[in-house]
């Protein structure tokens, strides 16, 4: 247990190195999948050894560059716990799907996937600003190559746009990290909230804006969202699953872990502006999704809207809002990851994502249509499923902070149901007029594909019906954030048996 976090972090990287030197694509695929399964099982040990409370757990600390107070420092609390487990879980599904459909340069593809897993887990666990920045930058490289090499027709444009947008924000954040260090003499994330209080007000404001810009681009918040639809549409299916399920969470996690506790006054000062941008993103993303004819593009713009909810909850600056935001990060990763997975399954059969090419799929592929309906309802926030609990909690926190923004956010929930039901109607309902969609011509889901979807659906219901299994670990860590307004109590959902 003393080195559990390091094991979870670097197991995928070890797997990536092994995959590169194995002969034969079959061995590479089997090893990559085994690596993800082992990492997921090891990550579950965090739950078995978990102790209730807000403190960081499973702490590791080793001198890296002690002359500059740079340490290899890892830890996990209720905010990062579920994000780590989400990452290890989704990676199994992404690699399992890739094993069925990736045919070229399998070793490099799998190595990049596993390397990205190490980088993202490292971001969630790092408690030193330099270590965090290394993992943050490291996460860009695998996704850049996955999009640029295995993506669709305009993959180079999308990969460069993704890389340049994120790099621009990261550069400013690095300057801010150095400014904070020269003022406080520390990179220790656990000490910085107290040490940064002595920084000049103008410097706190400037540093917060630099951090916030990097995180806003990664989320992405309107108007920094333009790279996301291009990246999603051009990325391979597994890349889209991980981009939506994990990488976007790096930005919202950064707000909670770094921006809010280190710069509490600046966070409060800019909360109204960021909340307004979040609401604009919710409504804009939903309305643009409504007019998309490419179903993958529709899901991409839905991510802009759903991540707007997460940001709205964070900058409600109360326990309900932030706890709901953490829970909704997990919900979005599962629901939107499942949507991209199903779009990928359909694309591999038909090699088109144009909604006009479909219709009547319930008659020809009823199993696929059933799963697609459940996933769509999860993303739309149907009560009893995971999306409802997260959005409801966020809206409660937002209403306590700003009722007007909560009302606008609620309109986004309605729009989400609209565009998702429209997509389902175009794909699964109506007459079956296209011969390519006929039963027997278009194959239904295989058992191996259902094996990827069933765990996701079970988690939808588990989170929707028993959210306190997750919130009980999230709430104490959120309550410990000094920025949180204690007047707003934690949300507790009681389920009567």
Give pLDDT, residue 1. Answer: 65
Give pLDDT, residue 359. Answer: 86
Q: How many domains does the chain have?
A: 1
pLDDT of 489 > 90? The answer is no
Residue 447 lies in a domain: yes
Burial class (CB in 10 A: 0-12, 13-18, 19+), 142: buried
Helices (H), 185-294: 192-195, 201-218, 227-234, 237-242, 248-254, 260-262, 264-290
Each residue of 324-349: b (16+ CB within 10 Å) or e?
Answer: bbbbbbbbbbbbbbbbbbbbbbbbeb
Taking a C-beta distance cutoff of 8 angstroms, is the pair 151, 243 a contact? no
Residue 486 lies in a domain: yes
Query: Strand 70-76 relative to strand 57-65: parallel, antiparallel, unpaired?
Result: antiparallel
Residue 368 lies in a domain: yes
Q: What is the pLDDT of residues 160-191, one digit of tens each?
A: 999 898 888 889 999 999 999 999 989 999 99
Taking a C-beta distance cutoff of 8 angstroms, is the pair 31, 18 a contact? yes
Higher pLDDT, 201 or 274: 274
pLDDT of 239 > 60? The answer is yes
Which DSSP string corresponds to 387-448?
A: HHHHHHHHHHHHHHH-HHHHHHHHHHHHHHHHHHHHHHHHHHSS----GGGSBTTB----HH
Give pLDDT, residue 485. Answer: 53
Distances (CA, A) of 208 to 131, 180, 205, 251: 19, 10, 5, 14
Q: What is the pLDDT of residues 42-74, one digit of tens each?
A: 999 999 989 888 789 999 999 988 888 899 999
Give pLDDT, residue 484. Answer: 64
Q: In this structure, how many other beta carbons lie within 10 angstroms of the beta carbon of residue 287?
A: 15
Give pLDDT, residue 430. Answer: 84
How many residues would you count in the chain? 497
413, two tokens:
């929930």
Residue 248 lies in a domain: no
Residue 81 lies in a domain: no
Taking a C-beta distance cutoff of 8 angstroms, is the pair 306, 416 a contact? yes
Q: What is the pLDDT of residues 272-291, one digit of tens each?
A: 999 999 999 999 999 999 99
| Mean pLDDT, rounded, of the chain | 90
The pLDDT confidence band at residue 233, using thresholds 50, 70 and 90, is confident
Residue 87 lies in a domain: no
The pLDDT confidence band at residue 104, using thresholds 50, 70 and 90, is confident
The pLDDT confidence band at residue 436, using thresholds 50, 70 and 90, is confident
Q: Which of 266-270, 312-316, 402-406, 482-486 has the lowest mean pLDDT?
A: 482-486
Q: What is the pLDDT of residues 191-200, one digit of tens each?
A: 998 888 888 8
pLDDT of 346 > 50? The answer is yes
The pLDDT confidence band at residue 491, using thresholds 50, 70 and 90, is very low
pLDDT of 117 > 60? The answer is yes
d(CA 243, CA 247): 5
Contacts of 245 (CB under 8 A, 6+ apart): 86, 87, 90, 332, 333, 334, 336, 337
Centroid of chain to Cα 290: 22
pLDDT of 157 > 80? The answer is yes
Distances (CA, A) of 483 to 225, 259, 391, 406, 496: 27, 10, 21, 20, 33
Give pLDDT, residue 488. Answer: 39
Q: What is the mean pLDDT of residues 344-356?
A: 90
pLDDT of 437 > 90? The answer is no
DSSP at 351: S
Query: CA 23, 25, 26, 27 torsion: positive or negative?
Result: positive
User: How much of the chain, in percent, has pLDDT values that exceed 90?
Assistant: 69
Q: What is the mean pLDDT of residues 467-494?
A: 71
Phi, psi dihedral angles at 324 (to 5 degrees): -60, -35
Distances (CA, A) of 86 to 5, 38, 244, 412, 474: 15, 14, 12, 25, 14
pLDDT of 368 > 60? The answer is yes
Residue 196 lies in a domain: no
pLDDT of 495 > 80? The answer is no
Q: Which of 209-213, 464-468, 485-489 has the lowest mean pLDDT?
A: 485-489
Q: Tokens 């460069």 sit at which residue?
A: 160
Burial class (CB in 10 A: 0-12, 13-18, 19+), 446: exposed
Beta bridge partners of 409: none
Give me the domain span that covers residue 431: 263-492
pLDDT of 496 > 80? The answer is no
Residue 386 lies in a domain: yes
The pLDDT confidence band at residue 497, using thresholds 50, 70 and 90, is very low
């Amino acid at each position: 247990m003393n080195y559990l976090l390091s094991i979870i972090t670097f197991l995928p990287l070890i797997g990536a190195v092994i995959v590169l030197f194995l002969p034969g694509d079959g061995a590479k695929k089997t090893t990559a999948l085994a690596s993800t399964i082992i990492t997921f099982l090891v990550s579950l040990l965090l739950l078995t050894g978990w102790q209730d409370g807000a403190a960081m757990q499973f702490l590791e600390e080793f001198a890296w560059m002690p002359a500059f107070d740079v340490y290899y420092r890892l830890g996990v609390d209720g905010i990062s716990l579920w994000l780590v487990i989400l990452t290890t879980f989704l990676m199994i599904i992404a690699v399992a799907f890739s094993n069925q459909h990736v045919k070229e340069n399998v070793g490099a593809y799998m190595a990049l996937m596993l390397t990205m897993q190490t980088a993202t887990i490292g971001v969630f666990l790092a408690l030193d600003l330099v270590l965090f920045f290394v993992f943050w930058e490291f996460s860009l490289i695998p996704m850049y190559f996955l999009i640029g090499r295995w993506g669709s027709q305009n993959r180079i444009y999308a990969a460069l746009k993704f890389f340049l947008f994120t790099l621009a924000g990261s550069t400013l954040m690095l300057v801010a990290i150095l400014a904070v260090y020269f003022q406080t003499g520390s990179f220790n994330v656990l000490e910085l909230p107290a040490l940064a209080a002595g920084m000049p007000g103008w410097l706190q404001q400037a540093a917060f804006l630099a951090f916030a810009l990097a995180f806003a681009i990664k989320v992405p918040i309107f108007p920094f969202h333009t790279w996301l639809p291009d990246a999603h549409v051009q990325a391979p299916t597994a890349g889209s699953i991980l981009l939506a399920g994990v990488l976007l969470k790096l930005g919202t996690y950064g707000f909670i872990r770094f921006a809010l506790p280190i710069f509490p006054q600046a966070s409060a000062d800019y909360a109204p502006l960021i909340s307004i941008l979040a609401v604009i993103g919710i409504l804009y993303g939903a309305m643009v999704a409504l007019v998309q004819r490419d179903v993958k593009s529709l899901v991409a713009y839905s991510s802009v809207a759903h991540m707007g909810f997460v940001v709205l909850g964070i900058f409600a600056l109360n326990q309900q809002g932030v706890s709901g935001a953490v829970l909704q990060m997990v919900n979005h990763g599962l629901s939107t990851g499942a949507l991209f997975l199903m779009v990928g399954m359909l694309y591999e059969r038909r090699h088109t994502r144009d909604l006009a090419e479909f219709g009547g799929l319930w008659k020809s592929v009823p199993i696929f249509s059933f799963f697609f309906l459940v996933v769509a309802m999860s993303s739309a926030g149907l009560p009893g499923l995971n999306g409802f609990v997260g959005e409801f909690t966020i809206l409660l926190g937002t209403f306590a902070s700003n009722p007007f923004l909560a009302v606008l956010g609620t309109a986004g929930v309605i729009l989400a149901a609209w565009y998702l039901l429209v997509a389902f109607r175009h794909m699964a309902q109506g007459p079956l007029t296209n011969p390519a969609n006929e039963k027997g011509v278009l194959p239904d889901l295989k058992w191996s594909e259902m094996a990827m979807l069933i765990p996701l659906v079970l988690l939808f219901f588990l989170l929707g019906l028993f959210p306190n299994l997750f919130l009980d670990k999230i709430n104490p860590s959120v309550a410990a954030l000094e920025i949180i307004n204690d007047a707003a109590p934690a949300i507790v959902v009681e389920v009567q048996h």
